[in-house]
Chain A
Amino acid sequence: MPTPFRIDTSRIDDISVMVLDGQVDAHTAPRFEEAIQAELTAGHQRIIADCAKLTYISSAGLGVFMSFIEEIRESGGDIKICSVIPKVQATFEILGFQDIFDIVADVPAAVQRFRESPVKEA
């Protein structure tokens, strides 16, 4: 049985909102990677990862976030993460994601963060 995972991407002004739905593991991480790459190729450097429906993430998925962040910030964009459920939040925290990424409550808060702080401040 394939790992349940889908990504739906929509736009709010110049921001891409990617809804991650299901599980990101070694099997599905390449699809997540392709989806981010497609946004960058289209010139969309501002991305919100909406994790409300993300039920599980392994290091393969965490590695996708980390592999793009430098490139995106070098071109003036950012990835903001929002709506994270507690067990996924715990996984993020083990790897220190809260120091690397802006992690906020929901999509409106992530949009607002882009307005106030286009790139996470150190």
Chain B
Amino acid sequence: MAPGPLVLPQTPFTRRVPASTAGVRDASDALTKFFAERGLNSSSLWRFQVAVDEVLSNIVQHGYGGESDAPIDVTFELLAGEVVVTVIDDAPPFDPLSVPRPATTDRLEDRPPGGLGIHLLKSLMDRVEYARCEGRNRLVLAARV
């Protein structure tokens, strides 16, 4: 039997960035590069850029309590027509999905921290899943492209 076409596995595209503004930007740049290398529809890119920005900015500000060199691991994958972004950090346990949706009519001081960003995130992605694994926060964001 003739051998079938060689199919190379899609290797995950992983970056470790520091918990800082520069790190958030590095992750966003890596996402742009991932879309370009995989030939993905760039019209979907902005949704992932906003989502990744919201998640990482939240980790920097609320998880680690400000800018630091603490690591955030970000992995981008294309799986069955979905772009899947996995974000792992070592900050204290925090499930962003537990933050209630802010009412836009609430006064600013009544809104939960990060609430706007998390609402955006859930609206932009098809799937957002949180788990605490081996002492680390693990957030998965996925949407079809």
Contacts and interface: CB of A to CB of B under 8 A. Distances in A.
B117 A59 contact: yes
B132 interface: no
A56 B32 CA distance: 14
Interface string B107-118: 110000010110
Contact of B117 (A3, A27, A58, A67): A58
Contact of A56 (B46, B57, B61): B46
Interface in A15-30: 25-27
Given A91-B120, A95-B120, A58 B104 contact: no
B116 A95 contact: yes
B50 A58 contact: yes
B116 A25 contact: no
A60 B54 CA distance: 9
B119 interface: yes
Judged by DSSP, the binding face of B is helix
Interface residues of B, number: 21
B119 A58 contact: no
A63 interface: yes
A96 B104 CA distance: 7
Interface in B61-93: 61
Contacts of B119: 94-95
B124 interface: yes
Contacts of A7: none
Given A1-B25, A67-B108, A96-B104, A26 B57 contact: yes
